[in-house]
């Protein structure tokens, strides 16, 4: 078949669309740091108080963040994973209780479940978004279900209104993992994090805003807030003197982190607006060109730009990601190497001294457990890390690279199938 002119892929020795590196979140060019963050660090160091136990930066961050999300309480902690552990600890599962989780996320969504001796139960995802499918969650409920963890994957709001209704009917807690979704409006109007019983955010280097590492857990429920606060500080209610009320760890945020996070918080709405504007420019630039399926824009805050490619095989998808990267647009085929349940930590039961605790005999994690997620990771999903500083030229180059690679890789796989 004659397909007309096709530019040779950089992967195959052609000229790359882009030779100058596109800014990433691993460097200043892809982040928003200025005098405000510098002043924040100096303010804390000069005060002599670097601990949140006695300082006021972390408490101020908590109230500013709670207000921004539209809830009553926020508890700061040392990472997004820690924030999720706070939420799980507040659920207070007994050993063997179950938490429903999605197979496509950062492993930080799941490890705290194991750390709290509970069993992760994986439910499959929506084929368009990769977020939990409410019907699959419904089917995964058992009398031991204590919580459901919804991840707003890549910044697209998960159907948390429906998941909240399912959780309420089941007497379970809905935890929203918002590490990739700051200020994302959910279908019901509330922001991501304000619909579930608890919302968990991360300040890791790659997220919308960062202080290197750090986390925030938000809730409307004062009892959950108190349990999370105690869990982050050794079970020690400081106002009551030296008493340890509950099992807990030390997940405290430092004042340095909180001060930087406060400065970042003031930039957050601009960061989200600029990420959305760049995505809109990309959409416009790809108009009329053969391209992969772009995400539904509604409520999306574009942590990453996920692309869905249909009609290619596993090798084709790997080539798609490699080809984009070679064109100068760093991309990751599949986002993950495998669904989270296929990771050694779960499949090989590596927690707790080889005992198999807490999953052995309760759950196994075979291939085929979540076919929609497996298909996305192996054959459909390519992600392009996004950021708030992409220029008009950057976005045009991304669009050109996507068009070029899409044409070449999908045409090649058409040919081999014929
Ligand atoms: C980054 C991330 C986490 C973990 O956050 P850390 O701050 O790296 O511990 C959890 N869930 C999701 C969806 C994430 O993207």
Q: What is the DSSP string of 34-52?
A: -HHHHHHHHHHHHHT--BT
Judge whether 303 and 205 are in contact, CB under 8 Å: no
- The CATH code that applies to domain 35-266 is 3.40.640.10
Q: How many A from CA of 106 to the centre of ligand 1?
A: 5
The residue whose CA is least distant from atom 7 of ligand 1 is: 80
Q: Is 52 in the pocket of ligand 1 (CB under 6 A)?
A: no
How much is the CA Rg of the chain, to the nearest whole Å?
22
- Tell me how far CA of residue 156 lies from CA of 159, 187, 299, in angstroms: 9, 11, 6
> What is the pLDDT, as a whole number, of residue 411?
87
Beta strands in 140-270 (DSSP E): 145-151, 173-177, 198-202, 215-219
Q: Which has the closest alpha carbon to 150: 113, 115, 192, 187?
A: 192
| Pairing status of strand 173-177 against strand 145-151 | parallel
- The CATH code that applies to domain 10-28+268-337+368-414 is 3.90.1150.10
Q: Is 25 in the pocket of ligand 1 (CB under 6 A)?
A: no
Domain ranges of the chain: 10-28+268-337+368-414, 35-266
Read off the pLDDT of residues 43-70 as tens digits, 9 standing for 90 and up: 999 999 999 999 999 999 999 999 999 9
* Alpha-carbon 336 to chain mean position: 12
Residues of the chain above pLDDT 70, percent: 97
What tokens appear for 221 in the block? 């429920």
User: pLDDT confidence of 415, banded at 50, 70, 90?
Assistant: low
Read off the pLDDT of residues 175-195 as tens digits, 9 standing for 90 and up: 999 999 999 999 899 999 999
pLDDT at residue 418 greater than cutoff 50 = no
Q: Is 253 in the pocket of ligand 1 (CB under 6 A)?
A: no
Among 132, 180, 192, say which to mutate for ligand 1: greatest number of ligand atoms within 8 Å of CB: 180
Q: How many A from CA of 340 to the centre of ligand 1?
A: 13
Among 25, 26, 76, 81, say which to mutate for ligand 1: greatest number of ligand atoms within 8 Å of CB: 81
Judge whether 202 and 78 are in contact, CB under 8 Å: no
Chain mean pLDDT for the chain: 96
Q: Measured from the CA of 202, which atom of ligand 1 is nearest?
A: 7
* Alpha-carbon 120 to chain mean position: 18
Read off the pLDDT of residues 102-121 as tens digits, 9 standing for 90 and up: 999 999 999 999 999 999 99
Burial class (CB in 10 A: 0-12, 13-18, 19+), 87: buried
Q: How many A from CA of 80 to the centre of ligand 1?
A: 5
Q: Is 179 in the pocket of ligand 1 (CB under 6 A)?
A: yes
> What is the pLDDT, as a whole number, of residue 393?
97
pLDDT at residue 414 greater than cutoff 90 = no
Q: Is 108 in the pocket of ligand 1 (CB under 6 A)?
A: yes
pLDDT at residue 417 greater than cutoff 50 = no
Contacts of 108 (CB under 8 A, 6+ apart): 79, 80, 81, 84, 179, 202
Judge whether 363 and 103 are in contact, CB under 8 Å: no
Q: How many A from CA of 202 to the centre of ligand 1?
A: 6
Q: Which has the closest alpha carbon to 264: 83, 62, 75, 36?
A: 36
> What is the pLDDT, as a whole number, of residue 96?
96
**Beta carbons within 10 angstroms of residue 235's beta carbon:** 18
Q: Measured from the CA of 81, which atom of ligand 1 is nearest?
A: 9
Q: For residue 98, what is the enclosing H or E element?
A: strand 98-101
145-160 burial, b for 16+ CB within 10 Å, e for fewer? bbbbbbbbbbbbbbbb
Order of strands across the sheet that contains 215-219: 73-77, 215-219, 198-202, 173-177, 145-151, 98-101, 119-122
Among 78, 130, 179, say which to mutate for ligand 1: greatest number of ligand atoms within 8 Å of CB: 179
> What is the pLDDT, as a whole number, of residue 3?
40
Q: How many A from CA of 217 to the centre of ligand 1?
A: 12
Across the range 300-318, mean pLDDT stands at 97
User: pLDDT confidence of 6, banded at 50, 70, 90?
Assistant: low
Judge whether 194 and 14 are in contact, CB under 8 Å: no
Q: Is 176 in the pocket of ligand 1 (CB under 6 A)?
A: no
Q: Is 215 in the pocket of ligand 1 (CB under 6 A)?
A: yes
Answer left, alpha or beta for residue 61, where phi above 0 means left and psi between -120 and 50 means alpha: alpha
Q: Measured from the CA of 213, which atom of ligand 1 is nearest?
A: 7
Q: Is 181 in the pocket of ligand 1 (CB under 6 A)?
A: no
Q: How many A from CA of 108 to the centre of ligand 1?
A: 5
Q: Measured from the CA of 79, which atom of ligand 1 is nearest?
A: 7
Across the range 389-401, mean pLDDT stands at 98
Q: Which has the closest alpha carbon to 248: 77, 110, 58, 109?
A: 77
- H helices within 75-171, ranges in order? 80-91, 111-115, 134-140, 160-170
The residue whose CA is least distant from atom 10 of ligand 1 is: 108
Intrachain domains 10-28+268-337+368-414 and 35-266 with the same fold: no
pTM: 0.97
Beta bridge partners of 75: 217
Beta strands in 266-339 (DSSP E): 304-308, 332-333
């Amino acid at each position: 078949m004659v397909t007309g002119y096709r530019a040779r892929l950089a992967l195959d020795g052609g000229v790359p669309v882009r030779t100058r590196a596109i800014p990433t979140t691993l460097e200043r060019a892809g982040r928003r740091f200025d005098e405000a963050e510098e002043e924040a660090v100096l303010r804390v160091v000069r005060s002599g108080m670097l601990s949140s136990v006695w300082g006021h930066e972390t408490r101020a961050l908590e109230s500013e963040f709670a207000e921004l999300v539209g809830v009553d309480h926020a508890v700061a902690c040392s990472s997004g994973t820690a924030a999720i552990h706070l939420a799980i600890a507040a659920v207070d599962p007994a050993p063997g209780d179950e938490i429903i989780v999605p197979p496509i996320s950062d492993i930080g969504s799941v490890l705290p479940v194991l750390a709290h001796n509970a069993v992760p139960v994986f439910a499959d995802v929506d084929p368009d978004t990769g977020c939990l499918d409410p019907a699959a969650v419904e089917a995964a409920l058992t009398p031991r279900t204590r919580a459901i963890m919804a991840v707003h994957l890549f910044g697209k709001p998960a159907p948390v209104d429906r998941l909240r209704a399912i959780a309420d009917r089941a007497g379970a807690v809905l935890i929203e993992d918002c590490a990739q979704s700051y200020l994302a409006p959910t279908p019901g109007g509330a922001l991501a994090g304000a619909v579930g019983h608890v919302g968990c955010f991360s300040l890791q280097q790659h997220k919308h805003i960062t202080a290197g590492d750090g986390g925030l857990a938000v809730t409307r429920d004062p009892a959950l807030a108190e349990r999370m606060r105690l869990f982050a500080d050794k079970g020690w209610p400081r106002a009551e003197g030296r008493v340890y009320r509950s099992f807990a760890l030390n997940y405290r945020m430092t004042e340095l982190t909180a001060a930087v996070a406060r400065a970042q918080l003031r930039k957050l709405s601009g960061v989200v607006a600029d990420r959305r504007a760049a995505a809109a420019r990309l959409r416009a630039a790809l108009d009329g060109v053969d391209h992969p399926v772009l995400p539904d824009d509604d409520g999306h805050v574009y942590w990453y730009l996920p692309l869905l490619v249909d009609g290619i095989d596993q090798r084709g998808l790997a080539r798609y990601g490699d080809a984009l990267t070679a064109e100068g647009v760093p991309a990751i085929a599949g986002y993950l190497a495998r669904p989270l349940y296929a990771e050694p930590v779960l499949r090989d039961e590596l927690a707790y001294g080889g005992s198999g605790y807490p999953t052995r005999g309760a759950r196994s994690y075979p291939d085929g457990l979540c076919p929609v997620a497996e298909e996305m990771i192996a054959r459909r999903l390519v992600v392009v890390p996004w950021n708030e500083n992409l220029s008009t030229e950057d976005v045009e180059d991304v669009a050109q690279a996507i068009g070029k690679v899409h044409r070449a890789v999908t045409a090649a796989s058409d040919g081999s199938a014929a």
